[in-house]
Structure 1
């Protein structure tokens, strides 16, 4: 991110031949530290951090329980019945812990490792991916909105601490986005979800990516920090 430069999504990826890929589990603190040490060795600087790693369920079995519950809820509503959920009783300690470790602890680990590099670059931008589930009360397994709400608190606190170093920290809280994760849900549930929005469609991944680029760019996002921007189609206002 050069000072005064305006980015586009295409420009952000125009030098893909120089990209290095480091597979890792963001919930592993040591692995995150090692990854940023490699970034420092091979690239020598850091300007932008986007925290987008996340899971909506800790295991395939837990995800299937969500699918089954959503299908039953749609059927209940069609028959004029109030949907009932039992996520609280059905969630184990390990399931809750795993989602928190990935969605919340992982963002803390990456921010902690990135900050020394960003300070050395005399500033930069961090964008944390949260969810509209952190803003609106919805009946889903509690580990997901709890982890994503934690991301918003992490964002605000980091923004307050890092502003004097010219490091901006913001969050985006998307609603329904057309991703493989969303498509794990039954199509009838996806259509029901879309029908609850004022803009009745899924967001495209590009629409969310453009918001990330907007926040990372010095010219367009230079006066934003500690903010949560929620592209959610009007499901939450």
Structure 2
């Protein structure tokens, strides 16, 4: 099993803690989809296993991959603590292949927004399409860009206290627009130990994806059907998205 150095473990543990504390309500939806799938499921960008490990513990036939080796190593450690055996590997959404057909593929928590170019976005959709069995579906979520939220909070550092391994740290994060033309933004995270030394510094660049842009990508992809709803409560065919919704949950289906 891969092991992590101290800094990598700290980064992975910080990420895992923050994702779990957000309680977005998405884990229940994705776990239910995996339970109800009539065949195996695949989680893209599974990270430290916030959703993946619970689905696996419930007996779901689910595989996963992530491009971060440190996140996967942390996931495997957590799985060992729970006595479950994960089937995960390192790969990128834009360049992956599988040796089985999946009834369901899903990608939680805005992860597709890390795909910055149209070419990368379409490559990922083609790869997912090829991984699905006939009639299979791909479910993912992205946020609805809010001009009010951007105006009020972007560009400002937010600071909070966080305890990791019984040690108090100061965590701060900032989101800012870094390319107005391409509608890209950067999330910066920093962690400081009790002595004030910065022990983690990372940044992630992402792409805004309003509804119409996602629909255009779906139209250019191999998928034949797609729907979108505004929340994690359900993905029934008649569900809708409306002004004021903060989340887009997309379902792309491969024709049977």
Task: Report the TM-score, using the length of structure 2 for normalisation.
Answer: 0.35
Task: Write 1 or 2 for the structure with the bigger share of helix.
Answer: 1
Q: Which has the higher contact order (CA 8 A, sep 6+)?
A: 1
Task: Write 1 or 2 for the structure with the bigger share of strand.
Answer: 2
